[in-house]
């Protein structure tokens, strides 16, 4: 069994748990923290938040473990998730219990750079790391380099992965069978999706939009048919 990294965070506390992603790029920190409080009351095992300000506020207002990420915009509407050690330092100083970063071949083709970053976060900052991947080979590489968790978050967002509107349960299953501690994330919209992820061997499941994005949820219903969308008031 792997040694636990981090400042007292017991990853087993996240096992079979629901992680709620509370984020909105450029959003109001107070609203994000309020969403996190609701998630805690609803039974969430942890929260994911974007940026040190939101991480800090959520840590003040909830008792849950917080997964910190730091999104940096790229061209084409794509984000680079937690690019540098400096970004991870800011998250750690804000109180993040676990730090998530991108570990795709598309964005981090130099595996030596990725391994150095993973080891620096775990060693220098004393915080466990979750690697966001899009395909099996990326997940296995990140796990062997020392990632504490691997998440399927970027499946469908890279040229190596197939776009889908459903959770990539096949990726969850192949990683789990390879002995990887895997979190299922991406396109999870129903409780049945969550159950399916655990049936495929997920260690934990993360849900964002389906819980914390009322704008997107509203469009799901208005596009369902027999609903006349209205124009927003100016």
Q: Give the pLDDT of residue 3.
A: 41
Work out the average pLDDT over 72-76: 74
Q: Give the pLDDT of residue 162.
A: 84
Enter the tokens of residue 179. Answer: 């002995």
Residue 100 pairs in a beta bridge with 130
Percent with pLDDT over 90 in the chain: 69
pLDDT in tens, 143-201: 999 999 999 999 998 888 888 888 999 999 999 999 999 999 999 999 999 999 999 99
Q: Give the pLDDT of residue 118.
A: 93
Alpha-helical (H) ranges within the chain are: 29-41, 52-61, 85-94, 111-120, 136-145, 169-177, 191-199, 209-212, 214-222
pLDDT in tens, 110-126: 889 999 999 999 889 99
Residue 89: is its pLDDT beyond 90? Answer: yes
pTM over 0.75: yes
Q: Give the pLDDT of residue 75.
A: 65
User: For 71-212, which CATH superfamily applies?
Assistant: Aldolase class I (3.20.20.70)
Q: How far apart, in whole angstroms, are the C-alpha atoms of residue 157 and residue 134?
A: 7
Q: Are 31 and 57 in contact (CB under 8 A)?
A: no
Residue that wins the pLDDT comparison between 213 and 73: 213
Mean of per-residue pLDDT scores for the chain: 89
pLDDT category of residue 27 using cuts at 50, 70 and 90: confident
User: What are the structural domain ranges in the chain?
Assistant: 71-212
Q: How far apart, in whole angstroms, are the C-alpha atoms of residue 16 and residue 8?
A: 19
Which residues have a Cβ under 8 Å from the Cβ of 95 and sit 6 or more positions away?
55, 56, 59, 66
């Amino acid at each position: 069994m792997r040694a636990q990294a981090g400042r007292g965070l017991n990853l087993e506390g996240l096992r079979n748990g629901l992680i709620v992603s509370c984020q909105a790029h450029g959003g109001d920190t107070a609203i994000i923290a309020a969403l996190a409080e609701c998630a805690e009351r609803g039974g969430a095992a942890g929260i994911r938040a974007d940026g040190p300000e939101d991480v800090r506020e959520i840590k003040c207002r909830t008792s849950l473990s917080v997964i910190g990420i730091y999104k940096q915009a790229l061209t084409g509407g794509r984000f680079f998730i937690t690019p540098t050690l400096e970004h991870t330092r800011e998250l750690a100083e804000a109180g993040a219990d676990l730090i998530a970063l991108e570990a795709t071949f598309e964005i981090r083709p130099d595996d030596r750079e990725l391994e150095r970053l993973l080891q620096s976060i775990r060693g220098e900052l004393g915080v466990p790391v979750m690697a966001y991947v899009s395909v099996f080979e990326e997940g296995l590489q990140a796990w062997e380099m020392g990632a504490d968790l691997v998440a399927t978050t970027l499946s469908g967002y890279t040229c190596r992965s197939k776009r889908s509107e459903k959770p990539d349960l096949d990726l969850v299953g192949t990683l789990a069978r390879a002995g990887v501690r895997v979190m299922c994330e991406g396109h999870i919209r129903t409780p049945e999706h969550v159950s399916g992820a655990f049936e495929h061997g997920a260690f934990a499941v993360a849900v964002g939009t389906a819980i914390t994005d009322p704008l997107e949820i509203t469009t799901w219903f208005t596009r369902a048919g027999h609903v006349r969308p209205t124009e927003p008031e100016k």
